[in-house]
Amino acid sequence: MSVLALENVGKSFGPVTVLHGIDIALEPGEVHALIGENGAGKSTIMKLLGGFLDPTSGQVLLDGRPVRFASGPEAEAQGIVVIHQEFNLARDLTVAANVFLGREPGGWRLDHAAMRQATAALLKRLDSPISPDALVGDLSVPDRQMVEIAKALSRNARVLIMDEPSAVLTHREVGALYAQIEGLRAEGVAVLYCSHRLDEVAHLADRITVLRDGRVVRRALRGELTQDGMATAMVGRELQDFYPPKGRPGDEIALEVRGLSVPGRVHDVSLSLRRGEVLGLAGLVGSGRTELAEGIAGLRPASGEIRIDGRPVGIRSAGDGFANGLAYLTEDRKEAGLLLEKPLRENLTLAALERFGRWRIDRPAEEAALDRATQDFDIRAPRRDMVAGKLSGGNQQKLLLAKTMLTDPRILIIDEPTRGIDVGTKSQIYAFIRQLAGQGLSVMVISSEMPEVIGLADRVLVMREGRLAGELQGAALTEDNIVRLAMGVSEAA
């Protein structure tokens, strides 16, 4: 019998119905993958299962009996644990204190030793080197994810609901995560796994449910659906031309970097980028890709020489970069890219405000720019005056791209262009990037998704531990070769 299930569940927010007649059952000892484009209803289903929302119609069944959780913590008391995409950690507390937050052992006095010991054991089970005494604020993002997982494990979960758990993990850590999920499955835990990475789904899931527009459109068992099949089911159409055809870069060198170092992160990197070229930058998370890009764009102190169109330039701030026609599009669109509480218009023009009037900001011109941007980049906003934070991830990314393009760059560095974005929007963004390159822009794409780098880039540089490990193009541009370079298995491709 299924441990937790939704039976004919519908959910409406005001006049908007987001789920229609959903049936989904989580079986003990089974990994159930839930996939769908952004806005398909995945997070609503997770919230319903996790006790954060009540269904409008239908019911939630726990061990076959209808239940109504008053809150997330009440569901957690029943062994239903949700790991959210956004972390729920107190930055200024230690790892151990976070793992036991709200359920500290001991009476009036905190039992530090017991918390530390239990946390150490959990982290060891996860094969993670994190110290229980480390402050969460000092940890890297993947390490924080590991702490979240340890925290969930400490709850003795019967049902574990994971929202994009691997989005921020490195290759090795994803391996540890898989091992852990397989271990939990063997212990009889029911796992609901939401991910945009279809290769993970194919690898992990015993059962797959595909959502589209708030309805279940496909159910499959392990092996019944190929990754292509999943993507097709999610989008509802064939995904031909997922990657646009590659272009023909020019010969002139637009950007040349010589001996660039960012203290402690990047060591002596030299590279060149040609006009109209899409250059991929691959490597593990933490290999210094973002730091290299931020060093070039003036967002981090860096030493070395940068030439644009053969002219040496000094770039010490994002403004210097824009003035020289170089723009960096951040990987962290929520914290460094967009003002989530501000309307679309103010976000769009923020980096290029001086183009909208010398003293008085020309609002009609801003509105016109927003019209153009929504059209050019197909930004789908339910309301024109809404705040950026209410857009879906894909539309946020398009808005960020539009905002960056408003600075008129000739060299564009895009960091993780499709992180947390659904399949349909991904292919749109690939097309935009290729189109920009076709117009003569030079684009550098940093990505952790290898199919993306391979499908999109004309040439790929691989970084390892802050240095360039190698360059790949043509027939040598394979996942296998990238991994070898990124992991340092072989020096030459």
Residues within the interface to other proteins (CB under 8 A): 13, 299, 317-319, 321-322, 328, 330, 335-342, 346, 350-351, 353-354, 357, 359-361, 363, 403, 407
Q: Least Å distance between CB 242 and other proteins?
A: 30
The residue among 321 and 470 lying less far from other proteins, judged by its C-beta, is: 321
Count of C-beta atoms within a 10 Å radius of residue 339: 12
The torsion angles phi and psi of 374, rounded to 5 degrees, stand at: -65, -35
Q: Least Å distance between CB 330 and other proteins?
A: 6
The residue among 261 and 407 lying less far from other proteins, judged by its C-beta, is: 407
- Nearest in space to 400 (alpha carbons), one of 477, 446, 336, 317: 336
Q: Least Å distance between CB 321 and other proteins?
A: 7
The residue among 24 and 329 lying less far from other proteins, judged by its C-beta, is: 329
The residue among 150 and 348 lying less far from other proteins, judged by its C-beta, is: 348
- Locate 225 and state its tokens: 């659906």
What's the burial of 156, exposed, middle or buried (CB within 10 Å: 0-12/13-18/19+)? exposed
Q: Least Å distance between CB 351 and other proteins?
A: 4
- Strands lying side by side in the sheet with 4-13: 16-26, 4-13, 57-62, 65-67
The residue among 321 and 394 lying less far from other proteins, judged by its C-beta, is: 321
Q: Least Å distance between CB 295 and other proteins?
A: 14
In this structure, what DSSP letter does residue 27 have? P
- In sequence order, the 6+-apart residues with CB closer than 8 A to the CB of 371 are none
Q: How far apart, in Å, do the first and last CA atoms of the chain sit?
A: 51
Kindly report each contact of residues 196-200 with a partner whose C-beta sits within 8 Å and lies 24 or more positions away, as own/partner: 196/35, 196/164, 196/167, 196/420, 196/421, 196/422, 196/423, 197/166, 197/449, 198/35, 198/227, 198/230, 198/231, 199/227, 200/166, 200/174
The residue among 134 and 340 lying less far from other proteins, judged by its C-beta, is: 340
Are 266 and 295 contacting, i.e. CB atoms less than 8 angstroms apart? Answer: yes
**Separation CA 42–CA 236 (nearest Å):** 16
Q: Least Å distance between CB 407 and other proteins?
A: 8
Are 422 and 394 contacting, i.e. CB atoms less than 8 angstroms apart? Answer: yes
The residue among 133 and 341 lying less far from other proteins, judged by its C-beta, is: 341
Specify the length of the chain in residues: 493
The residue among 225 and 302 lying less far from other proteins, judged by its C-beta, is: 302
**Separation CA 39–CA 423 (nearest Å):** 12
The residue among 217 and 340 lying less far from other proteins, judged by its C-beta, is: 340
- Locate 189 and state its tokens: 């835990």
Q: Least Å distance between CB 438 and other proteins?
A: 26
Are 276 and 438 contacting, i.e. CB atoms less than 8 angstroms apart? Answer: yes
Q: Least Å distance between CB 337 and other proteins?
A: 6
DSSP string, 320-344: HHHHTTEEEE-S-IIIII--TTSBH
The residue among 61 and 299 lying less far from other proteins, judged by its C-beta, is: 299
Q: Least Å distance between CB 290 and other proteins?
A: 12
What residues form DSSP beta bridges with 467? 464
Q: Least Å distance between CB 147 and other proteins?
A: 23
